[in-house]
Amino acid sequence: MSTPTSRKVGRPRIQKRPSSGLEPRDEVLAAAADLFTTRGYTATSTRTIAERAGLRQASLYHYFDGKEAILAELLEGTVRPSLEVARGLVSRTEAAPEARLWALCHSDAALLCGGPHNLGALYLLPEAQTGHFADFHRVRAELKSCYAELLAATDAGAALGPHDLALRTDLVFGLTESVILIRRADFDRDPQALAVATADAALLVAGVPQRSLARLRREGQRLLAAQD
């Protein structure tokens, strides 16, 4: 009688692996991003996510504890890259703070309105406001503090008191994140044009004179090109 061949116990897929070329964990994130932004978070089950990713539901839990953990990673993925850019721009003290602020607003807006899914819209979920997503809120708060630091270093920001500076930071930060709503209303907007327009508008809100805008935009674009 032949000896049974030993077989590695794996996590069998429910269907053929999607042709995306992604690793299973990334397939789960991509599937959840699509489902959360089209069907809604509450209406999407882990079973549906697993099926879309080509996995059995039990296999999904090998990569994530559950739906909240998936949402947390998607949310953090919309702010961590911007925070890295922000830290770099804050340290570039040889450049005008206004140009660095333009570059940050542009980079942040481009991230939020780029990609195949409007992941920034997940910010608006009631679930995203809970303590389960403390890491996301911590990273986002650190990003906002970089906005505040750059704004405070501008000529207009230096003339503001603490209360007015905090309010102006809220306005600039909120304007940048407003691309989420614009993209939700018109998904086909050109992300690059939207990012430029958003950064321009943010500088005006910050108190930069209109006559200086074109020069600061060029400087901001050079800063971003140097970081690539």
Q: Do the Cβ atoms of 100 and 223 come closer than 8 Å?
A: yes
Domains contained in the chain, CATH given? 12-64 (1.10.10.60), 76-227 (1.10.357)
Q: Of 111, 61, 151, whose CA–CA distance to 123 is shortest?
A: 111
Question: Is pLDDT at 224 greater than 60 in this prediction?
Answer: yes
Q: Do the Cβ atoms of 31 and 49 come closer than 8 Å?
A: yes
- Rounded CA-CA distance 12/195 in Å is 42
- pTM (predicted TM-score): 0.88
Please tell me the least confidently modeled range out of 13-27, 108-122, 134-148, 160-174: 13-27
User: Looking at residues 17-25, what average pLDDT do you find?
Assistant: 73
**Residues 53-62: pLDDT tens digits?**
999 999 999 9
- Rounded CA-CA distance 89/123 in Å is 25
